[in-house]
Amino acid sequence: MRYEVRVADHALGVEIDTGGRALVDGEAVAAQLDEIVRGRQWQVVLEGRTHEITLLTREPMRLLVDGREVDASAVDERALAASRGTRQHASGRHELRAPMPGLLRAVHVKEGDIVERDAPLCTLEAMKMENELRAPVRARVVRLDARVGMKVEGGAVLAVLSEVE
């Protein structure tokens, strides 16, 4: 099985053959790999160098590698093939999600509005602080689920934007 892996700014191809051998960008790697905490922390010894790697968060994936935080992702080729279609289809479509649970203190837009990049869309209060959620790109608000006073879960979709040039 092949995986397209991204670690920080790097893209790597990882292949695991039926013998359980791992190849990175085509090169077989002889790593001593120990799982220290099931599904959470691993130790990798490679060419004598030892690396302690902890899964900090799963979605999005963030790893702690010897004390350095890096974003990462790994998609196997089948999932990749499957997802490409939807990606195409979804190109230019953006969902605004609540980064954490909280209370919607203000909504600054309405459906149909065209908003500039970084324009504040709504204000979410969590942990005694107000957080402005902004537009990732210049876009039209095609759907708005956010209502003032609404208590939202982390990850809840607050609005759907459609990118406009």
Partner 1 sequence: MTALRKVLIANRGEIAVRIIRTCRDLGMAAVAVYSEADRDALHVRLADEAYLIGPAAPRESYLAIDKLVAVAQRSGCDAVHPGYGFLAENADFASAVKAAGLCFVGPPAGVQRLLGEKTRARRLAAEAGVAVVEGTSEALRDLAAARTAATRVGYPVMLKAAAGGGGKGMRVVRTAAELEASWRVASGEAAGAFGTPDLFLERLVDGARHIEMQLIADDHGNVVWLGERDCSVQRRHQKLIEESPGPSVDAALRARIGDAAVRIARRAGYRNAGTVEFLVGERGEVFFLEVNTRLQVEHPVTELVTGLDLVALQFRVAAGERLPFTQDDVIRRGAAIELRVTAEDAPGGFVPASGTIALLRLPSGPGVRVEHALFEGMRVPTEYDPLLAKIVVWGEDRATALARARRAVRETIVAGLPTSLAFHAHTLDDPDFVAGRYDTGFVAAHWPPASPAELEGTALTAAALVAVLATRVRASHVANGVATAWQRTAREDALR
Which of 102, 109, 115, 159 lies at the binding interface for partner 1 (CB under 8 A)? 102
Give the residue from 22, 32, 24 showing the smallest Cα distance to 4.
Answer: 24
- Tell the smallest beta-carbon distance from residue 96 to partner 1 (Å): 13
CB-nearer residue toward partner 1: 110 or 128: 128
Could you give the CA distance from residue 67 to residue 65 in angstroms, rounded to a whole number?
Answer: 5
Question: Which of these ranges, 53-61, 85-93, 109-117, 139-147, lies near partner 1 under the rule CB under 8 A?
Answer: 53-61
DSSP 111-132: TT-EE-TT-EEEEEEETTEEEE
Residue 150 gets which letter from DSSP? -
CB-nearer residue toward partner 1: 100 or 142: 100
| CA-CA-CA-CA dihedral for 32, 33, 34, 38, to nearest 10 | -170
- Tell the smallest beta-carbon distance from residue 15 to partner 1 (Å): 10
Could you give the CA distance from residue 32 to residue 51 in angstroms, rounded to a whole number?
Answer: 10
Per-residue mark of binding to partner 1, 9-38 (x: CB under 8 A): xx-x-x-xxxxxxx-x----x-xxxxxxxx
CB-nearer residue toward partner 1: 44 or 160: 44
- Tell the smallest beta-carbon distance from residue 112 to partner 1 (Å): 23
Question: Which of these ranges, 50-58, 81-89, 137-145, 156-164, lies near partner 1 under the rule CB under 8 A?
Answer: 50-58
Assigned token pair, 147:
């209502």
